[in-house]
Structure 1
């Protein structure tokens, strides 16, 4: 070997060794900085588990109690969504259908009308009017038979396992059903009048299914804080709006029995279109035969549902996706939450983990019975990254630090994490988690999970997580 070649070989060897040592030193420096954050910035009396993995290099970056079980809160939605997006049928839309069974003679439908629920969590007032208008174009104005809602897709358990009973009537805890209108939630808007006068109140969607009691006072601080509730202890749907209204105020409240809210309002609007229908409705499964005809169909794309799950941490959307996942996984029409959870457990096994080491109770994370680890979250994030079809759908839906979704007010402009973190949040009392992807300053893409437990100050937990992300990015 001549001198020149020997010299070049020596140079390249030194560069390689230097790069390796720099990488090791860089990793050691990162570990030291993160250890320091845990020592000095972790809220007193709390616990944390952290798992960080370099997807670009294909190697772990940092771990701290990463195999310890924690309650995930809404980061549970990552397991549900990634598993659902891995299915061959992942792109099938959510469907709500109207059928009749019988025959149309002259101006009369001599038969029954069915509204078939497909657990569409984004079905809103516009979608309802679309179905009603389509039905109204059929050549009849009288329904001589009955009107049925078909909610046979899922069992009648309307809350997830371990959901807190006293979280109702909050809008984030819906009454689950394959037929949901506006997520089973009413939005109440109050506008002030003259001082002391009752404020004007508007409700969306409009329906006679609920009643409103207006106890507000305009520009009257002694009236107390503005609030919207209902007689939920009696499973009633009397909405009580009260308190001081000094400017335009909005409140949201769930309604008891989503399926009844849907069917009552559907029937009411069909009658308003001039279609004479029975005074009431019932619930019954459609048995399709030669007399069955589809009248109307409304579809919602899966990406729209996933966007809401991730950006706004929508619990109903996650439970709807879990329900549909169960139907796809089992091949059955009639399913329960457990069928969807079985699909997630199967995915855990595919990732080389033992599903018996974890506890899965629902698809959205509202349950206190869920127990998973930071390592498991990162394993799912790694799997999603390995599948372009999954990663593209997931990544575009994740909140962006300082920009949108549940991260819009975190990771402000000027911090390393601003726009460089795409992650799912998860929080309820004493729990605060963050898991997703971040772009490091060296151009690497990183998967991470931070699970804070037993911390009563959400602000402190969020500040700790943001600081961890800043250090990893630097």
Structure 2
């Protein structure tokens, strides 16, 4: 029998767990799992697909409707991450270019300045600051032409085909553009972070701050600081096709406040506005207008900014389940392989790449890269097969390191599992991708069992009345698996 080492990574430390023999399921493991799946009240009328494999050789240890196509929610990101690592490579970076069709004379750029985005979802205000400093270092104090944002690296379709209209203002439903910006190092591209804190005095409006500090969005403050015994009831509403955000409700005077990430309308102009702000702060005067357009072919590159590596981007992407990263990676795969940065081309590239891992793509319905669509369909057995196959890849340590770790409270370690599975038999021993959309809860990954061996699992729960209860069911199933 083939010997395989599964690498479990926590933070910067790696422990090699030897798989010296196949995992032999205890006689009562299937019985316990079947009992839970058949008798759990919250699964009545729902569908559960479960596939468990031996990490050493891929053999199926347990199967419950594992071949049934189900909605994967954010477990779709496992497919996207694997395909992106295979197509782009773990050292891949996104570029953002400054170009001009003019010349610099006497501290003046005679012509237009182009900000050309090539998909980087990690651009922060401080990155635009550095670009502005670079221009100033070159001796530029004035630009006679326009500041033009070029987002033509991707197509102009901003939303994936099945995105619910109600998600339009959310950070996880933010528009996808080749030129965009993020508020923090969580890299929720195309969004702003709004923080609401109570005033020091009851009856006054709450204090509101925006990150990054920008006038690109307009805040209508209809809040009130309430009594210390009052309820915290805040609503955030961005007007359709506008960047006017109305915040209403009350905050108790003793409240610590509330944070909300809101997706902006037109992320390309958002990025342009931030860059123009940086130019102004560096004393660089723009004589022309801010506009979008295409960079002329004969333009010269003035400066190139590179993003963090894909292996580093995977951490916020997978641990925090970032939808924008998933859709950007789909478009980037399409651009790199076919020359067209679109969902249509990217998903075809992704499907072709998955076949290299032995995935039967005829059993899949792929509509996006994030799993936000309710039309996506994936069998649990195909996900567990993928998790076996990727262990052979050179980039597997980066893939594994990106998965949320059960019960680990540090945000960039535990991710979406940081508040789950904190009991001794599973804390720090489960590396898995979560998934949640309405009526759906999923969990797929790796678990170190009581015997010290590793099992691979995929749990997909669909048609739930309450998807939050699905997480508790998943945790029970993992506890049973880990105990054998």
TM-score (norm 1): 0.89
Change (3 A) 1:413 1:324: same
Give ranges in structure 2 of 5+ residues lacking alignment.
1-19, 183-188, 409-413
In structure 1, C-alpha distance between the alignment counterparts of 2:281 and 2:107, rounded to whole Å: 17
In structure 2, C-alpha distance between the alignment counterparts of 1:177 and 1:136, rounded to whole Å: 27
Q: Which residue of 2 aligns with 1:277?
A: 286
Q: Which secondary structure does the structure 1 equivalent of 2:87 belong to?
A: coil
Equivalent runs, 1:427-446 vs 2, <5 Å = 427-446=436-455
- Contact 2:97-2:301 at 8 Å conserved across structures: no
Q: Which residue of 2 aligns with 1:16?
A: none
Q: Which residue of 2 aligns with 1:4?
A: none
In structure 2, C-alpha distance between the alignment counterparts of 1:320 and 1:402, rounded to whole Å: 29
TM-score (norm 2): 0.88
**How much has 1:356 moved relative to structure 2?**
2.9
**How much has 1:282 moved relative to structure 2?**
2.2
**How much has 1:252 moved relative to structure 2?**
2.1
Superposed structure 1 runs of 4+ greater than 4 Å apart: 220-224
- Contact 1:189-1:248 at 8 Å conserved across structures: no
- How many aligned residue pairs are there? 447
Q: Which residue of 2 aligns with 1:118?
A: 118
- Between Structure 1 and Structure 2, which shows a larger proportion of helix residues? 1
Q: Which residue of 2 aligns with 1:347?
A: 353
In structure 1, C-alpha distance between the alignment counterparts of 2:396 and 2:418, rounded to whole Å: 21
In structure 2, C-alpha distance between the alignment counterparts of 1:425 and 1:285, rounded to whole Å: 39
Q: Which secondary structure does the structure 1 equivalent of 2:315 belong to?
A: helix
Indicate yes or no: 2:92 matched with 1:83. no
In structure 2, C-alpha distance between the alignment counterparts of 1:107 and 1:130, rounded to whole Å: 18
Q: Which secondary structure does the structure 2 equivalent of 1:172 belong to?
A: helix
Q: Which residue of 2 aligns with 1:162?
A: 162
2:480 to 460, 471, 474: 471
Indicate yes or no: 2:367 matched with 1:361. yes
Q: CA RMSD in A?
A: 2.1
Indicate yes or no: 2:211 matched with 1:201. no
Q: Which secondary structure does the structure 2 equivalent of 1:300 belong to?
A: coil
In structure 1, C-alpha distance between the alignment counterparts of 2:247 and 2:256, rounded to whole Å: 13
In structure 1, C-alpha distance between the alignment counterparts of 2:192 and 2:415, rounded to whole Å: 22
Change (3 A) 1:352 1:109: same
Q: Which residue of 2 aligns with 1:420?
A: 429
Give ranges in structure 1 of 5+ residues lacking alignment.
1-18
In structure 2, C-alpha distance between the alignment counterparts of 1:357 and 1:423, rounded to whole Å: 22
**How much has 1:283 moved relative to structure 2?**
2.1
- Contact 1:223-1:243 at 8 Å conserved across structures: no
- Contact 2:435-2:442 at 8 Å conserved across structures: yes
Change (3 A) 1:27 1:342: farther
**How much has 1:296 moved relative to structure 2?**
4.2
2:194 to 188, 191, 198: 188
Q: Which residue of 2 aligns with 1:66?
A: 66
Deviations 1:98-154 (A, max 9, x none): 122221111211122111112111212222222222223221212122221111111
Q: Which residue of 2 aligns with 1:401?
A: 406
Equivalent runs, 1:70-469 vs 2, <5 Å = 70-87=70-87, 89-182=89-182, 183-193=189-199, 194-220=201-227, 225-232=233-240, 235-246=241-252, 247-249=255-257, 250-289=259-298, 292-330=300-338, 332=339, 334-387=340-393, 389-403=394-408, 404-414=414-424, 416-469=425-478
Change (3 A) 1:360 1:134: same
Q: Which secondary structure does the structure 2 equivalent of 1:169 belong to?
A: coil
Q: Which secondary structure does the structure 2 equivalent of 1:132 belong to?
A: helix
Q: Which secondary structure does the structure 2 equivalent of 1:201 belong to?
A: strand
Change (3 A) 1:357 1:223: closer
**How much has 1:225 moved relative to structure 2?**
0.9
In structure 2, C-alpha distance between the alignment counterparts of 1:163 and 1:421, rounded to whole Å: 30
Q: Which secondary structure does the structure 1 equivalent of 2:395 belong to?
A: helix
In structure 2, C-alpha distance between the alignment counterparts of 1:59 and 1:355, rounded to whole Å: 20
